[in-house]
Structure 1
Amino acid sequence: MIPTVVWGTGNVGRAAVRAVNAHPALDLAGVLVHSPAKIGRDAGELAGLERLLGVAATDDVDAVLAAGPRAVVYAASGDLRPDEALGDVVRAVRAGAVVVTPSLYPLYDQRGAPPEFRDPVLAAVAEGGGALFASGVDPGWGNDVLPLLVSGLGSTVDAVRCQEIFDYTTYDQEDSVRHLIGMGHPMDYEPLMLAPSVPTMVWGGQIRLMARALGVELDEIRETLDRRALERSVRTRTMGEFAAGTQGAVRFEVRGFVGGEPRIVIEHVTRIHASCAPDWPVPPGGADGAHRVIIEGRPRIEVTVEATDEDENRSAGGNATAVGRLVNAIDWLVDAGPGLYDALDVPLRPAAGRLGRK
């Protein structure tokens, strides 16, 4: 069994605790939290399981890493604290752990990552013998392994489009939804996630990674952005009221150009309520979230994935599949040895030993 720590118990961390607990090769060895209200609580309770797991949450990072866990799922957010997140991850890698995380956007395409992100990780790998694999929570597989797999089913490929279509009505992460993305703010408010160059900073690595796998050279990466205001006030169960006239929907694309044409595109369509921007793409069947891959070519191929978790919540389902990709890579990474890995290095494997397991 591989002793594994989950660091953070928010939307991603809850799913990580459940995934580690369910994996036959992993043993939940610790849970790290930041909130004083979570210290001492059982991991099963924090993860929304119906049973206790016998692992109490702690904020003592030194003690947890000193115990020598073989793996760490770093689930703390890096959106507003990228330097701190990088420091935490480097610390765990230097302690000899295999680390998997969605929190370090620049390392999704680790070969093209800025030196200020890549070099400290490589130094920690050399010093401590650990490893790192970063993949997106949006989820990463929807912007790398799935489109690349599906592209291999066609005769010709003209363009690859990856879509996340999401309604935040049931989401429970108010700071990100309101302030990072701008939902509920006046239309002249510039949210950090939508500022020029930020979408490319977050998703450009996945564009470059797909281009590398497809054997093409990018001319450039460009962004598009469209925003819509709410026509009426709406209220969500977890985040309260969003007023009429404020931002209610966002649509942007990160476009990789090849030969002067946008050939590799990551598109996000997000709403705070289904009534906003109804003419934009919507999930099938009135669902509140879906991930779609469209291969334009011959034949044209379209694959839509819907996942639910935590009482049929599709926002939680997306988090859970992103976490599944990371957690299920841990035993492979342990066998692969020290290094810095990306989605093209780490295979997507069957759920061996997990059929029927709870």
Structure 2
Amino acid sequence: MISTVVWGTGNIGRAAIRAVESHPALRLTGVLVHNPDKVGRDAGELGGVDYALGVAASDDIDGALAAAPDAVVYAASGDIRPDDAFADIVRALRAGAVVVTPALYALYDPRNAPAEVREPVLAAIAAGGGSLFVSGVDPGWGNDVLPALVSGLGSRVEVIRCQEIFDYSSYDQPDSVRYLVGMGQPMDYQPPMLAPSVPSMVWGGQIRLMARSLGVELEEIRETLDRRALDSAVATASMGEFEAGTQGAVRFEVQGIVEGEPRLVIEHVTRIHPACAPDWPSPADGGAGAHRVIIEGRPRIEVTVEATDEDGNRSAGGNATAVGRLVNAIDWLVAAEPGLYDALDIPLRPAVGKLGRTHT
């Protein structure tokens, strides 16, 4: 069994605890938390599992890494603490662990990562003998391996469009929603996540992965942005009220230019309420979120994934699928040579040993 530590118990960490517990080759041996109120609580409670797992949450990072776990699922946020997250991950790699995480945008495409990110990671891998795989929570598979897979079903491909369509009212990260993305802020507020070049920094790596998977030359990456204000105030169950006239919806594209045209596109359409920007794409069933891959070509192919978890929550479902891609890569990474891997290196893993599996 592969001893595995889950570091962080927020939206991603909860799903990671469940994914590790369900994996037949993994054994949950530690859970690291920052909040002192969580210290000592059972991992099953923190992960939304309906039975005790016998693993108490701890804030002792040194002790957890000194125990030399085979793997670490780094689930702590990198959005608002990127330097701290980077330092934590390098620390786990130096301890010899295989690390999987969504926290480092620059390493979605490690071949083109900045030297100041790539070199310390490679040094830590050389020192500890571990490996690193980074994939996004938007989810990463929807912007790299799924479009690559679906593209192989047609005879001609003209454009690949990957969409995340999401209602943020169900997303349990108020600071990210209000301040990073700007929902509920005045229309002259500059959301950090939407500042020029930031979307390309975050999702450009996945555009490059798609280009590499198709064997095409990427000429440049462009961005488009549209924002809409709320016509009237709306109230949400988890984040309170959003005033009329403030930002209520965002639509942007990160475009990979091939032969002078945007042929590889990652598009995000996000709202705080379905009433805002009703003319923009929405989930076919009217739900809170969906991920879609559209292949314009011959034939035209459209694949929509609607995942739910935690009592039907689409946000939790998307997180769970992203975490599943990461956690399901751990046993492959443990068997592989130490290294820095990307989504095209890691094969899609069938649910071997999981069909009908229940806790025993």
Q: TM tier, shorter chain? A: over 0.9
For the residue of structure 2 that corresponds to 1:266, the secondary structure is strand
For the residue of structure 2 that corresponds to 1:62, the secondary structure is helix
CA displacement at 1:168 relative to structure 2? 1.2
The residue aligned with 2:290 is 290
CA displacement at 1:162 relative to structure 2? 0.2
For the residue of structure 2 that corresponds to 1:204, the secondary structure is helix
- Matched to 1:46, the amino acid is L
Taking the aligned partners of 2:196 and 2:37, their CA distance within structure 1 comes to 37
The residue aligned with 1:104 is 104
CA displacement at 1:344 relative to structure 2? 0.5
After superposition, where does 1:1-358 map in structure 2 within 5 Å?
A: 1-358=1-358
Taking the aligned partners of 1:169 and 1:76, their CA distance within structure 2 comes to 21
Which stretch shifts more, 44-53 or 147-156?
44-53
Cα displacement string for residues 239-280 of structure 1 (whole angstroms, at most 9, x for unaligned residues)? 111111110000000000011000100000000001100000
- Matched to 2:147, the amino acid is P
- Matched to 2:139, the amino acid is P
CA displacement at 1:77 relative to structure 2? 0.7
Cα displacement string for residues 267-304 of structure 1 (whole angstroms, at most 9, x for unaligned residues)? 00000001100000000111110000001110010000
> Tell me, which stretches of 5 or more residues in structure 2 are unaligned?
none
The Cα RMSD (Å) is: 0.6
Taking the aligned partners of 1:349 and 1:23, their CA distance within structure 2 comes to 12
CA displacement at 1:337 relative to structure 2? 2.4
Taking the aligned partners of 1:352 and 1:157, their CA distance within structure 2 comes to 32
CA displacement at 1:218 relative to structure 2? 1.0
Taking the aligned partners of 2:103 and 2:306, their CA distance within structure 1 comes to 23
Cα displacement string for residues 61-112 of structure 1 (whole angstroms, at most 9, x for unaligned residues)? 0000000100000001111211111111011011000000000000000111
> Tell me, which stretches of 5 or more residues in structure 1 are unaligned?
none
Cα displacement string for residues 328-354 of structure 1 (whole angstroms, at most 9, x for unaligned residues)? 000000001210000000001110000
CA displacement at 1:41 relative to structure 2? 0.8
- Matched to 1:349, the amino acid is R
- Matched to 2:40, the amino acid is G
- Matched to 1:21, the amino acid is E
Cα displacement string for residues 95-146 of structure 1 (whole angstroms, at most 9, x for unaligned residues)? 0000000000000001111111110110011111010000000000000000
Taking the aligned partners of 1:188 and 1:204, their CA distance within structure 2 comes to 26
Taking the aligned partners of 1:318 and 1:246, their CA distance within structure 2 comes to 27
Taking the aligned partners of 1:215 and 1:171, their CA distance within structure 2 comes to 36
CA displacement at 1:169 relative to structure 2? 1.7
Taking the aligned partners of 1:207 and 1:170, their CA distance within structure 2 comes to 27
- Matched to 2:152, the amino acid is G
Taking the aligned partners of 1:10 and 1:24, their CA distance within structure 2 comes to 23
Taking the aligned partners of 2:243 and 2:40, their CA distance within structure 1 comes to 39
Taking the aligned partners of 1:17 and 1:120, their CA distance within structure 2 comes to 28
Which stretch shifts more, 210-219 or 319-328?
210-219
Taking the aligned partners of 1:168 and 1:58, their CA distance within structure 2 comes to 31
User: What's the TM-score, normalizing by structure 1?
Assistant: 0.99
- Matched to 1:294, the amino acid is I
CA displacement at 1:171 relative to structure 2? 1.4
For the residue of structure 2 that corresponds to 1:286, the secondary structure is coil
For the residue of structure 1 that corresponds to 2:55, the secondary structure is coil
Taking the aligned partners of 2:112 and 2:103, their CA distance within structure 1 comes to 17
Runs of 4 or more off by more than 6 Å in structure 1?
Answer: none
User: What's the TM-score, normalizing by structure 2?
Assistant: 0.99
For the residue of structure 2 that corresponds to 1:149, the secondary structure is helix
